[in-house]
Amino acid sequence: MSKRYFGTDGIRGLVGEAPITPDFMLKLGWASGRVFAREAGGEGRCTVIIGKDTRVSGYMFESALEAGLVAAGVNVKLLGPMPTPAVALMTRTQAAVAGIVISASHNPFYDNGIKFFSAAGSKLPDETELAIEAELELPITTVQSREIGKVLRVVDAAGRYIEFCKSTVPEGFNLRGMRIAVDCAHGATYHIAPSVFSELGADVISIGVQPDGFNINEGVGSTDTAALSALVRERGVDLGIAFDGDGDRVLFVDADGELVDGDELIYMIAMYRLGSGYGDAGVVGTLMSNLGLELALRAEGLEFARAQVGDRYVKEAMEAQGWFLGGESSGHIICSDVTTTGDGIVAALQVLMALKDSGKSLAGFRSGMKKLPQRMINVTVAGKVDLGDYPAVAAAVGRVEAGLGERGRVLLRPSGTEPKIRVMVEGEDAAEVDALCAELAAEVERLVTQR
């Protein structure tokens, strides 16, 4: 069955437009509460965790979800602003049946969304999402007053998560002597990430740590690293670390202010693990992963598998292969032997361990992987698009692929979180890649938007 509301990463959209409205969130809380209570088997009152990022609309949706859940007879624990991976962690450690994150990740403040975690701290299986959608078709009812759920605010959630992050590095590991700039995107890591790195001994300079409900991801964070790059150069620090709005993605900049993307970070972690003797046979990337990552890993005897874009597909491929490392060029990196989902702070610590172990600078370490020129252009569309309905688009892709031959590749895919088609071209020659990508994006826009 196809899903009406759930996409590849929960439910997301513009605040005030269906389904990102208070009435829908009330119904969603109720519907999910009924499903979670049923799956719990009626063994006592079950609990659902709710966390959020720093968007102003989070207050509204937190209250609506809370009301729906307690009406379904489910207890609720509120974490307040917390990174998405922290909600996954707290769901597991608080013996909750599920976790809910109110966030639109790297999107602007006027978007918002809902992500769910299972009791194990992983994304919900398709059958649970379908069951929730089935409940959404029913009228809301309220359990008897004696059965209404209760709500508790967890006041020490931030401290618990900080300690967890520090526990993911070996005993005795420290960052003394390192000067680090940290950009929290005015998002959910603003009160977490600086403390983690400073408590491990680093000299930390922070930006993007003054959320006001409206400035999340605005000119800061992993989606816009210009401010962080300038800060790194001006203050002469060793490196910069940038998180997205909900803290499940991370990118670095080196001492010269040059961006280091997720593919390069995955390469560094893999090399560290390989050299330490506890690496796997391979790494999972996505269809968007740079070909240079695949070539660099294979040169070291590691396998490389590509999954569909989306952390849930990366995680599924990791489990199928029996590997513990995977991720996306966007900086969504999963170390499943450490935690259950993509975690920006945990991934950053893995990179910092690799740097300390190698004794190299960030620029020196990244030089072991040679990225192929890759260009991506986002084509904005009116809504969901099935590219299979546009044979002329397939023909245009075929022409570009024929021109590249075996020297590159082309990828078109609709975004799972935004009304956009991602057009990507990769090859050996940067000028050719730029020209072909621009040409193909213009053709896609003409064919799709003018149909």
Q: What is the pLDDT of residues 192-204, one digit of tens each?
A: 999 999 999 999 9
Examine domains 167-257 and 374-449 and report if their fold is the same.
Answer: no
| Among the four given CATH numbers 3.40.50.720, 3.40.640.10, 3.40.120.10, 3.10.28.10, the one describing domain 11-158 | 3.40.120.10
Class of domain 374-449: alpha beta
Residue 378 amino acid letter: N
pLDDT average, residue stretch 351-377: 94
**pLDDT of 418 over the 90 cut:** no
Strand blocks (E) in 41-171: 47-52, 75-81, 98-102, 111-118, 151-153
Rounded CA separation 356/290 (Å)? 25
> Does the 167-257 domain belong in CATH 3.50.50.60?
no
pLDDT of residue 386: 79
Mean pLDDT of 322-326: 97
Residues sharing a CB contact under 8 Å with residue 446, sequence separation 6 or more, in sequence order: none
* Start-to-end Cα distance in the chain: 28
The predicted-structure confidence for 65-104, as pLDDT tens digits, reads as follows 999 999 999 999 999 999 999 999 999 999 999 999 999 9
Q: What was the pLDDT predicted at 44?
A: 62
Calculate what percentage of the chain has a pLDDT beyond 70.
98
Our measurement of the distance from residue 245's CA atom to the centroid of its chain's CA atoms, rounded to an integer in Å, reads: 9
User: Annotated active-site positions, please?
Assistant: 105
pLDDT exceeds 70 at position 421: yes
What is the distance between the alpha carbons of residues 368 and 248, in angstroms, rounded to a whole number?
Answer: 26
CATH of the domain spanning 260-343, picked from 2.60.40.10, 3.30.70.1710, 3.40.120.10, 2.120.10.30: 3.40.120.10
Residue boundaries of the structural domains of the chain: 11-158, 167-257, 260-343, 374-449
Residue among 244, 195, 255, 204 at smallest CA distance from 222: 244
Residue 56 reports pLDDT greater than 70? yes
Per-residue pLDDT band for 309 (boundaries 50, 70, 90) equals confident
Which residue did the predictor score with more confidence, 2 or 23?
23
